[in-house]
Every structure is written in C-alpha cells, then in structure tokens.
Structure 1
C-alpha cells in the first residue's frame, strides 16, 4: 500500500508531500492539481518507457527545474537483482522518478529524447549503504554489491510493485 507521495516541479505542483491512509478521496476545484497527483503516481509506477510521454508542459510553470516524484510504501517490497547465475532478493520501500531536460543531444543519434529520466527503486534502510552503492551478505557470507543502475525500474524483477491503471481525460476518444 502507498503511504506517501512526494512531488516536486510537476505541472501545477511546485512541492507537495501527501500522506495517504487506507482510503483516500481527492476533492478540489478545477485546476488545483488533483489530476497532476494521479498522473504523477501513474508515471512513477509505470515501468514502461516514459521519455516519449513527458512533455515540456509537465515541468512546473515551464521552468527547467527537475521533476521529482517519490512513492513510499507502508511495508518493504521485494525485488530480485541479477547476481551471476542466481538472484539476490533486496527489500525496497520507495520508487523514485526524476526527470530533467537533456543538456545536449546524445552523440551519434539523429534524434535525442527531450529529457533524461532516472527511474528506480530505493533500497530499504535495512540495506547497508556504501560510498559506491549498497551491499548485502550472500548466503555464502560474501558481499553482493550493487549500484543505482541495477535498481532501474525497467531492469528489476518484482511482483510486489503495484500496477497503476489510469484512464486520462481523453479516454472517450
């Protein structure tokens, strides 16, 4: 269950932290950010390729400050990370999505995406943080070290991550 949503520089939201309970209702006038909150959650929980969905209008007031969306869970979820011929189970408690404008085009590419996206899970506090990433003990007692790149949402294997089904305002078309 999601227990916290933190949004920065996304559409009409400059900075907002929302605590969630078992049942939540979002009510407000038009243009107050209700849809922005739902779409932020949808973006953060979507393991699919996001850079084609992100537009310059998704940035707060058209500025170029990075978008940051963090989804926190009530309990630790589990992910399987590749470790040679086996896998290591890592607990995590958050999903992090950061989107920033690309500073320069990708070398040897005719068309570069508008944005650079960092979309990953955040290991739980029970995992040892090192200067170069994280580390856990394998069953044989040796350390399994991993970095942020291995935590990317499009690489990890997990059945625990909630799936988001969002029907936008154009659903009737």
Structure 2
C-alpha cells in the first residue's frame, strides 16, 4: 500500500516537472527574434512546396562561381524542356481503376499485371537515366577541388532529399 503511494507521488511530481519545463521552453521560444525564426523556416523550406534537395543542395555546398551557376541553370532548363509530360488527372484515375480491377477480379490476370509493372519500370528507368545524365553534365562543370568535395559529400550521404 505504501509503495503505491510512493509511485503515485513520484508520477505526479514527474508530470508536474515536465509541465513546468515545457512551459519554460515555450516561453523561451516565444521571446526569440521573429526575423531569425522566419529566416530559418525559409531556409529549411516547406516540406511540400519548394524544398530543395539533391543536386540543388549539393551545388549550393560547392560554392559555384557565377559562370558555373549560369551553366548549371542552362543544363537544368535543357532537361526540363525535354521532360515528358506528367500524366493527367484522368490518366492517373484510369491507371488506378485498372489496378483496382486487377486486384479485385476473381481470376488474377498475371499477363496484364506484368505489362503494367513493365510499363512503370520503363518510365522509371527513363527518368533515372535522364536524371543521371543531367547530374553528369553538371559534375563535369566543376573544378577538380569541387569534384573532390562533391565526392566526399556524396559518400557522406549529403545532398539527397531527406526521407520522412
């Protein structure tokens, strides 16, 4: 019986101290400079809108010259112009309907499933090849020192989009 009282008292004390600590942290956070908070949010970017990662982040780390930045932008524009059209909303809905039909039919149509998977894999392969070609062209613009920095950062896992 006495042990329960001690445990209850400890638990109440723990909750009270946690609440006190949290309120102090919140108060300290609201007194910080609003401009600094806004800048850090801007630098981090929004997870869904405009957050830059991958090559953009890597190129930023390399401290490119103005000429290199111009060349990198030209390469990016070249590849954006040649990028295939994204499927329309209707095409995506049709694809989902095909998948649902494939899943929900009594007899599984393995040939159709294989065809759907092969089509998706081919699209993915093309996107990856194009992306790697673009990255190779950008890499060739770098000085030997920048190339070494790039390789070092790449081996450390930097310059990629963070995963959730």
Q: Same fold (TM over 0.5)?
A: no
Instruction: Please give the TM-score of this superposition, normalised by the length of structure 1.
Output: 0.23
**Higher relative contact order, chain-length normalized (CA < 8 Å, sep 6+):** 2
Structure number with higher helix proportion: 2
Instruction: Please give the TM-score of this superposition, normalised by the length of structure 2.
Output: 0.24
